[in-house]
Amino acid sequence: MKLVRYGKTGAEKPGLMHGDSLRDLSAHVDDITGATLDDASLARLAAIDPETLPEVAGNPRIGPCVGNIGKFLCIGLNYSDHAAETGAAIPEHPILFFKANSAIVGPNDTVMMPRGSTHTDWEVELGVVIGKAAKYVSKEDALDYVAGYCIVNDVSERHFQTQLTGQWTKGKSPDTFGPTGPWLVTKDEVPDPQNLSMSCDVNGKRMQTGTTSTMIFTVAEIIEHLSHLFTLHPGDVISTGTPPGVGMGMKPPTYLKVGDVMELEIEGLGHQRQEVGEDA
């Protein structure tokens, strides 16, 4: 299934994609959140004949594919070639930082550059959505705790991230810096999360081309590692790192400007498009 949330910000409704048709799920579930992502709930939704669901007319805004996200967890430097382009050493363990939940927006919402920003960058990433509580799980069992996958643009302000003293979270958390979606693709449609092609274009020019097969730490290894540090809860999202081609790694470094357009794709997970605006 491809689960989606659509409508005005803060008032999104649940739906699913049936081919190219958006169908309304409101009669069956209040929202797509951690409370509805366990195996039994997903099986109940999967049993519904999509043809019986009302078709959503028009072209509504698409919201973040998960509502009320608990933790927004991010893994840094998880592709060896991305680490190389930034001049960083290969990490011994997954590098973890948090992205503020107030950064989360829909996949096609405007990304607003914060005041004074001159180093805002793009990062296409595979998002992993947790479906049931995971604590002390092994990598062999880790994927059993996944509800599905999505695209995340881990937008980053590099000056805030590296020069304002402190954790990376400062440069990762400005408002609108977490486009998520367009839909949550349930794990049954993604048999191997380590074999997905991914790309990011800026103003029509291909900047990032990669595949999840080159991750340093696999999705299963990330879940194992994190679940030994704290409990992962249903509705938590893990953004698993980005392949090479970010602006910071270019010679000379190249960053976003107001009016630029980012377009992101991951195989089987859909497409995002964001214009860059300027925060008031």
Cα distance between residue 240 and residue 198, in whole Å = 13
β pairing state of 104-105 and 178-179: parallel
Which secondary-structure segment (H or E) carries 169?
helix 169-172
Which residue segments constitute the domains of the chain, with CATH numbers given? 2-52 (no CATH), 72-278 (3.90.850.10)
- Secondary structure of residue 238 in the 3-state scheme: strand
Q: Is the distance from CB of 18 to CB of 49 less than 8 angstroms?
A: no
pLDDT score at 8: 97
Tell me the per-residue pLDDT of 30-44, one tens digit each, with 9 for 90 and over.
Answer: 999 999 999 999 999
139: buried, middle or exposed (CB in 10 Å: 19+, 13-18, 0-12)? middle
Cα distance between residue 31 and residue 33, in whole Å = 6
The token pair at 6 is 């659509």
pLDDT score at 52: 97
Tell me the per-residue pLDDT of 93-102, one tens digit each, with 9 for 90 and over.
Answer: 999 999 999 9
- Taking 50 as the pLDDT cut, the residues of the chain under it are none
β pairing state of 184-186 and 146-153: antiparallel
The pTM (predicted TM-score) of the whole model is: 0.96
Q: Is the distance from CB of 210 to CB of 201 less than 8 angstroms?
A: no
